[in-house]
Amino acid sequence: MHKVTLIRGDGIGPEITEATLRIIGAAGVKIDWDEVIAGQEAEIKHGMPLPAETKASIARNGVALKGPLTTQVGKGFRSINVALRQEFNLFANFRPVKSFHGIKSLFQDIDIIVIRENTEDLYSGVEHKIGEDAAESIKIITRKASEKIAEYAFNYAVHHGRHKVTAIHKANIMKLSDGLFLESVKTVAERYPQIDCNDLIVDNAAMQLVLNPYQFDIILAPNLYGDILSDLCAGLIGGLGLTPGANIGDGVSIFEPVHGSAPDLAGKKVANPTAMILSAIYLLRYLGEAKAAGRIEKALAAIIREGHFITPDLNGKSSTMEMAEAIIMRME
Ligand code: NAI
């Protein structure tokens, strides 16, 4: 039996996790969930947002399914999402953005993968106040991490029939840091002549994505730009309720939706479980449960296409659990 760490998360986390666990159970996959807590819940119960037992569980199992964790804006403890990525050197944040048939969104037939460097950049947490009226955040970019994420992206492209990698940067302004990222990507690209490689300045990339997203295949970005552009990409296909993610390291992987804890929806039981279900589908494939993953994926696509049991963010009327139950009923 597989043993997987489970963190239900804050806000809508427990609701979308419960829906996802029911679906995995109905697909017949036996998983021994090693349930631990983090974030606000852990802060309240243990006085620390990332308890040692949570880290130990992830280290022991090497794989986790995680709901979103709340991080307060401008105060409070440092992001536990960022802390986990740094703790386990989960260097790649893999965020596929694929259209579903049946959703009225800005674009149809989008199929873009955002690959985001996940450990450094402005997320390194090196920041301080300078007196009362100034503050400084330090952007860290290293050749090692940049080449590692570029290698991951090109290698992924080769093994998954992808043809193009677009590197995102602002090296016209941050000539040293983003310049180093771009230089590292170009070095790695030389080893993959079969994959097209181009680069775009991030502001132009944002506009190009809205004007003509079909020009993109794999987007390769440092941490901050990857974070922003992956939300933008989610908007192209119908919103954050639809986009899954995986944080990949050497020997440890954490699967989680792109979206956050959505405090505006928490407790209302209407959050879209799709991003969490898709994250779990990637987890199942990682565990070698491709057949069950395929069955869930097919049923999910059918339920969204038919549109009778979808959540309000997709203009439906169903609750999180009604959508999950419909997916279970639809599984072949
Ligand atoms: P958010 O992603 O939680 O919400 C943004 C918007 O998308 C909201 O309107 C929300 O209702 C909607 N949305 C998100 N997920 C949805 C779903 N499954 N179904 C339907 N609608 C959905 O981003 P926000 O509001 O900026 O952040 C809220 C909290 O989440 C913050 O504390 C933030 O730090 C945290 N966060 C955590 C992440 C993680 O755990 N990986 C990632 C992003 C944010």
* Nearest ligand 1 atom to alpha carbon 80: 40
CATH code: domain 106-114+140-237 is 3.40.50.2300
Bridge-based pairing of strands 63-66 and 2-7 is parallel
| Residue owning the nearest CA to atom 10 of ligand 1 | 262
Active site residue 317: no
Q: Whose structure tokens read 């419909």?
A: 326
Q: How many CA atoms lie within 13 A of 277 on its CB side?
A: 34
Residue 13 contacts residue 41 (beta carbons within 8 Å): no
Coil vs helix vs strand at 11: coil
Identify the active-site residue in 170, 178, 225, 313. Answer: 170
| Residue owning the nearest CA to atom 41 of ligand 1 | 68
Hey, which residues does 98 pair with through a beta bridge?
111
Pairwise CA distance, residues 65 & 224, whole Å: 23
Which of 162, 142, 140 lies closest to 153, judged by CA? 162
Pairwise CA distance, residues 17 & 6, whole Å: 9
Pocket test for ligand 1, best of 72, 256, 261 (most atoms within 8 A of CB): 261
Ligand 1 neighbour 21 (Cβ under 6 A): no
Pocket test for ligand 1, best of 54, 116, 240, 279 (most atoms within 8 A of CB): 240
Ligand 1 neighbour 278 (Cβ under 6 A): no
Q: Kindly give the distance from the C-alpha atom of residue 232 to the centroid of ligand 1, in angstroms, as a whole number.
A: 13
| DSSP per-residue string spanning 177-240 | HHHHHHHHHHHHHTT-TTSEEEEEEHHHHHHHHHH-GGG-SEEEE-HHHHHHHHHHHHHHHT-G
For the chain, domain boundaries: 1-96+243-332, 106-114+140-237
Residues in the chain: 332
Pairwise CA distance, residues 43 & 62, whole Å: 24
Coil vs helix vs strand at 13: helix
Taking the chain (332 residues) in consecutive chunks of 10 residues, what is each chunk's mean pLDDT?
96 98 97 96 92 97 97 88 94 98 96 97 93 97 98 98 98 98 98 98 98 98 98 98 98 97 97 98 98 98 98 98 98 95
Ligand 1 neighbour 75 (Cβ under 6 A): no
* Nearest ligand 1 atom to alpha carbon 275: 18
Hey, which residues does 218 pair with through a beta bridge?
113, 165
* Nearest ligand 1 atom to alpha carbon 313: 20
Identify the active-site residue in 227, 231, 282, 313. Answer: 227
Pocket test for ligand 1, best of 69, 70, 259, 279 (most atoms within 8 A of CB): 259
Pairwise CA distance, residues 208 & 194, whole Å: 24
Backbone angles phi, psi at 129, to 5 degrees: -85, 145
Class of domain 1-96+243-332: alpha beta
Identify the active-site residue in 34, 121, 123, 152. Answer: 123
Residue 283 host element (H or E): helix 274-286
Identify the active-site residue in 32, 45, 144, 203. Answer: 203
Which of 204, 201, 86 lies closest to 140, judged by CA? 86
Q: Whose structure tokens read 């599984």?
A: 331
* Nearest ligand 1 atom to alpha carbon 9: 40
Residue 154 contacts residue 165 (beta carbons within 8 Å): yes
| DSSP per-residue string spanning 7-42 | E--STTHHHHHHHHHHHHHHTT--EEEEE---THHH
Ligand 1 neighbour 259 (Cβ under 6 A): yes
How confident is the model at residue 158, as a pLDDT?
98
Terminal C-alpha separation, the chain: 23
Residue 321 host element (H or E): helix 320-330
How confident is the model at residue 75, as a pLDDT?
86
How confident is the model at residue 77, as a pLDDT?
85
* Nearest ligand 1 atom to alpha carbon 245: 41
Token couple for 52: 């040692």
Active site residue 227: yes
Token couple for 66: 């995680």
